[in-house]
């Protein structure tokens, strides 16, 4: 662990006379080696890179200070008033907002680079997948279990709604692992950094994405039930039978047995039948 970083960041906490806010999920990244891997994965020094860089929850600033050095337009989104005031005093552009309630449609072309608070990470990925926003790349820190669900494969225990939605809209790769000692205060869980690249070509139009999200949510609503039974809440059983037959999906199949590609195809077939 980078002790200089820890000492510097703890001194910053002392100056502000405050402790990390557990309610806001403040576990501050303090390992400079992990920071370096995040920066490298984002490839922010590319001459062809367009747009600004956004960081959610800068907190103590281990990642923020390295982003500033890159001479890119940087926007910080922070919920904690004390940190908003601190970073504004440092001359940075800061918006005080809850990232889950932020209007991402107003953001210009951007790369999102963040050590996310654990409690918002999964919801934020889903939101940025289905919303009409100009974020095309992301490098994000997650609780290891959440990261495993994001990259989970069909028929595995990790495969879920989050897997299907994430993989429908993003190409995802692992960057690195991070342990509890890489943060202050140390969380009780391990972490993992993932890189996301938005898929240029998708069969789903922007106006269909939220309906697709509802469709996949319904599919996974009761994992022990048959997929056809879950989806019968949204589509006529006769249309489901026809589409299952066309796609050679077993009538007894469960939600976790279909790949994300099959979900996109099944959704499209039902949409064309005006069944959704």
Q: What is the pLDDT of residue 130?
A: 95
Domain boundary among 155, 176, 198: 198
Do 255 and 154 share a structural domain? no
CA distance 100 to 173: 23
Do 222 and 111 share a structural domain? no
Domain boundary among 163, 198, 233: 198
Query: What does the pLDDT look like over 237-274, one tens digit per residue?
Result: 999 999 999 999 999 999 999 999 999 999 999 999 87
| CA nearest to 163, candidates 148, 175, 149 | 149
| CA nearest to 147, candidates 118, 186, 168 | 118
Check whether 5 has a pLDDT greater than 70: no
Domain boundary among 167, 198, 229: 198
Query: What does the pLDDT look like over 86-122, one tens digit per residue?
Result: 999 999 999 999 999 999 998 999 999 999 888 999 9
Q: What angle do CA 258, 263, 267 make, to 5 degrees?
A: 145
The alpha carbon torsion through 29, 32, 38, 43 (nearest 10 deg) reads: 140
Query: What residues make up the domain containing 11?
Result: 3-198
Secondary structure of residue 75 in the 3-state scheme: strand
CA distance 32 to 2: 6
Tokens for 217?
Answer: 């949510």
Check whether 1 has a pLDDT greater than 50: no
CA distance 100 to 78: 11
Check whether 4 has a pLDDT greater than 50: no
Do 186 and 210 share a structural domain? no
Do 177 and 142 share a structural domain? yes
Query: What does the pLDDT look like over 121-150, one tens digit per residue?
Result: 999 999 999 998 999 999 999 999 999 999
Number of separate domains in the chain: 2
Query: What does the pLDDT look like over 17-63, one tens digit per residue?
Result: 777 777 777 788 989 999 999 999 999 988 888 899 999 999 889 89
Do 120 and 17 share a structural domain? yes
Do 264 and 181 share a structural domain? no
Do 143 and 54 share a structural domain? yes
Residues 183-209 have a mean pLDDT of 91
User: Rounded to an integer, what is the distance from CA 43 to the centroid of its chain?
Assistant: 18
Q: What is the pLDDT of residue 19?
A: 76
Element of type H or E holding 39: helix 32-42
Q: What is the pLDDT of residue 14?
A: 82
Check whether 78 has a pLDDT greater than 70: yes
Confidence of residue 155 (pLDDT cuts 50, 70, 90): very high
Helix, strand counts (H, E) of the chain: 11, 9
Q: Is 25 left (phi over 0), alpha (psi -120 to 50) or beta?
A: left
Q: What is the pLDDT of residue 59?
A: 87
Confidence of residue 197 (pLDDT cuts 50, 70, 90): very high
Q: What angle do CA 258, 157, 117 make, to 5 degrees?
A: 105
User: Rounded to an integer, what is the distance from CA 214 to the centroid of its chain?
Assistant: 18
Tokens for 88?
Answer: 């504004």
Do 86 and 181 share a structural domain? yes
User: Domain with 216 in it: what CATH number?
Assistant: 1.10.8.100
Tokens for 137?
Answer: 């790349």
Give the residues across from 203 on adjacent strands: none
């Amino acid at each position: 662990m980078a002790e200089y970083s820890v000492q510097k960041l703890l001194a910053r906490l002392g100056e502000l006379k405050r402790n990390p806010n557990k309610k806001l999920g403040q576990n501050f990244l303090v390992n400079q080696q992990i920071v370096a891997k995040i920066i490298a994965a984002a490839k922010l020094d590319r001459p062809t890179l367009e747009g600004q860089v956004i960081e959610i929850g800068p907190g103590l600033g281990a990642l923020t200070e390295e982003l500033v050095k890159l001479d890119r337009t940087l926007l910080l989104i922070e919920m904690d008033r004390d940190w908003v005031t601190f970073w504004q005093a440092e001359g940075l552009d800061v918006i005080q907002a809850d990232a889950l309630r932020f209007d991402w449609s107003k953001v210009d072309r951007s790369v999102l680079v963040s050590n996310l608070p654990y409690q918002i990470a999964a919801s934020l990925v889903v939101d940025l997948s289905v919303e009409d926003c100009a974020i095309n790349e992301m490098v994000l820190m997650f609780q290891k279990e959440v990261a495993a669900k994001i990259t989970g494969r069909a028929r595995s225990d990790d495969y879920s709604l989050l897997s299907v939605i994430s993989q429908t809209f993003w190409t995802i790769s692992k960057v690195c692992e991070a342990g509890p000692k890489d943060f202050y205060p140390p969380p009780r869980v391990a972490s993992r950094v993932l890189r996301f690249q938005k898929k240029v070509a998708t069969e789903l139009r922007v106006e269909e994405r939220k309906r697709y999200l509802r469709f996949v949510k319904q599919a996974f609503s009761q994992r022990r039930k048959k997929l056809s039974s879950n989806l019968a809440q949204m589509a006529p059983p006769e249309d489901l039978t026809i589409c299952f037959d066309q796609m050679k999906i077993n009538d007894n199949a469960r939600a976790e047995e279909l790949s994300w590609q099959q979900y996109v195809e099944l959704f499209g077939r039902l949409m064309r039948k005006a069944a959704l």
